[in-house]
Amino acid sequence: MIERALGPALLWCGTAPDAGRHWTLPAKRHVGIGALAALRICTLGSGSSGNATFVATGEARVLFDAGFSCRQIQLRLAAIGEDYTTLDAVVISHEHSDHVQGLEVLARKTGVRVLVSQPTSEKLTWKKAAPALEIFEAGREFEIGDLAIETFTVSHDAVDPVGFCVRQGGRKLSIATDLGYMTDSVRYHLLDSDLIVLESNHDLEMLKSGPYPWDLKQRVLSRAGHLSNAAVAEFLSQHWDRHARTVVLAHLSTNNNHPAIAEMDACGAIDSVRANDTRVVVASQADPTPVFEL
Ligand SMILES: [Zn+2]
Ligand SMILES: [Zn+2]
């Protein structure tokens, strides 16, 4: 059960210039003629047990991945003031269960559009009848309402895994989880983002000395595995354009990471490039992040 809408703390690197400027509680907004409706984003939860991120404008409501049960998706959306029956589409990054386990029931109950790449669609299994699927091609862009959604290939042990860039009204957010390493293409797609949801899966030392069997450690560490805190820090300190005002660290390992360590590593990197206006938020498995408005 979700009892709190706002679980994780907001974490500022350096001095917070204006806490509260970039996010608000999910109050209803009245948008006047000519005004630009907020681009809202909330990671409903993230980790190896489930992932889903909600993105909305005045015209479109889209869920990226459906890795929680339909009931959990319903509850987590309700916790931020959203009705799951009003979703316009669900877009799937890859076939792993922590990204699709609620998809079948959600699609059956709501009739929501489901968008997925052809190779990934062939890996999905259904207990009852498969929902109608709309196929996208990795690397291509499509639109849902007023959202332009660009997909990009990531390196991960799935058949056709993708990350996402979402643009609307000159604003951009990017989602990149489940990737073994940062390719040039991933770095390129994260440029110019106002908000980045980025995997920070494990602390290298915790993983190496932790309880996982050797072969699983090798899988996580491989270039088709998951991104480490160190890789995130390297990206932020050496390759990031310092544009984003919010970096959401996602898909943290329960066994091989700790939110404080992931935060410390990311903040250290952000401080090293003096990006004092950027705050770090650690997404949790249990609770949605705040609702960010761009
Ligand atoms: Zn995952
Ligand atoms: Zn995965």
Alpha carbon distance 250, 196 (integer Å): 10
Q: What is the pLDDT of residues 131-166, one digit of tens each?
A: 999 999 999 999 999 999 999 999 999 999 999 999
**Ligand having the closest approach to the CA of 94:** 2
Q: How far is the CA of 97 from the centre of ligand 2 (A)?
A: 8
What is the pLDDT at residue 16? 47
**162-196 pLDDT, tens digit each:** 999 999 999 999 999 999 999 999 999 999 999 99
Which band of pLDDT confidence, cut at 50, 70 and 90, is reported for residue 14?
A: low
Give pLDDT tens digits for 26-52: 444 444 445 678 999 999 999 999 999
Please tell me the least confidently modeled range out of 6-20, 79-93, 236-250.
6-20
Q: What is the mean pLDDT of residues 104-119?
A: 98
Ligand 1 centroid to Cα of residue 30, in Å, is 36
| Sign of the CA dihedral with 207 first, then 257, 228, and 263 last | negative
The answer as to whether 31 is a domain residue is no
Assigned token pair, 219: 């899988």
| Least reliable range by pLDDT among 13-22, 170-179, 267-276 | 13-22
- Starting from the CA of residue 99, give the closest ligand: 1
**Helical residues (DSSP H) of the chain, grouped into ranges:** 70-79, 97-100, 103-110, 118-123, 184-190, 204-209, 214-221, 229-234, 259-272
Ligand 2 centroid–CA 217 distance in Å is: 15
User: What number is the average pLDDT over the span 93-116?
Assistant: 98
Between residues 20 and 143, which one has the greater pLDDT?
143
Q: Which of 285, 248, 259, 236 is nearest to 98 (CA)?
A: 285
**Domains of the chain: total:** 1
Cα of 31 from ligand 1 centre, angstroms: 36
Q: Is 19 a domain residue?
A: no
> Is 159 domain-assigned?
yes
Distance 110 CA to ligand 2 centre (A): 25
CB 70 within 8 A of CB 105: yes
Share of the chain above pLDDT 90, in %: 86
Residue 17: pLDDT band (50, 70, 90) is very low
Distance 96 CA to ligand 2 centre (A): 5
pLDDT band at 25 (very low <50, low <70, confident <90, very high): very low
Average pLDDT, the chain: 91
Ligand 2 center to 204 CA (angstroms): 18
Cα 230 to ligand 2 centroid, rounded to whole Å: 19
Assigned domain for 28 exists: no
Q: Among candidates 291, 239, 229, 226, which has minimal Cα distance to 260?
A: 229
Per-residue model confidence (pLDDT) at position 18: 42
The CATH number of the domain holding residue 80 is: 3.60.15.10
Q: Which one of the ligands is nearest to 180 CA?
A: 2
What separation in angstroms does the CA of 54 have from each of 37, 57, 83, 111, 150?
A: 16, 10, 12, 17, 16
Q: According to the model, what pLDDT value does residue 30 have?
A: 43
| 293 is a domain residue | no
Q: What average pLDDT does the segment 103-130 reach?
A: 97
Q: What pLDDT is stored for residue 13 in this prediction?
A: 63
* pTM of the complete model: 0.90
> Sign of the CA dihedral 148, 73, 122, 180?
positive
Q: How far away, in angstroms, is 49 Cα from ligand 1 center?
A: 8
Q: 242 CA distance to ligand 2 centroid (A)?
A: 27
Q: Which domain holds residue 256?
A: 3-13+39-284
Between the two ends of the chain, the Cα-to-Cα distance in Å is 28
> Among all ligands shown, which has an atom nearest to the Cα of 95?
2
Q: Does any domain span residue 291?
A: no
Q: 48 alpha carbon to ligand 1 midpoint, in Å?
A: 5
pLDDT over threshold 90, residue 7: no
Distance CA 246, CA 251 (A): 16
For residue 20, being part of any structural domain is answered with no
Q: Is the pLDDT of residue 253 over 90?
A: yes
Centre of ligand 2 from the C-alpha of residue 156, in Å: 7
Task: Find the 177 Cα to ligand 1 centroid distance in Å.
Answer: 7
- 222: in domain: yes
Is residue 283's pLDDT more than 50?
Answer: yes
pLDDT grade for 129, boundaries at 50, 70 and 90? confident
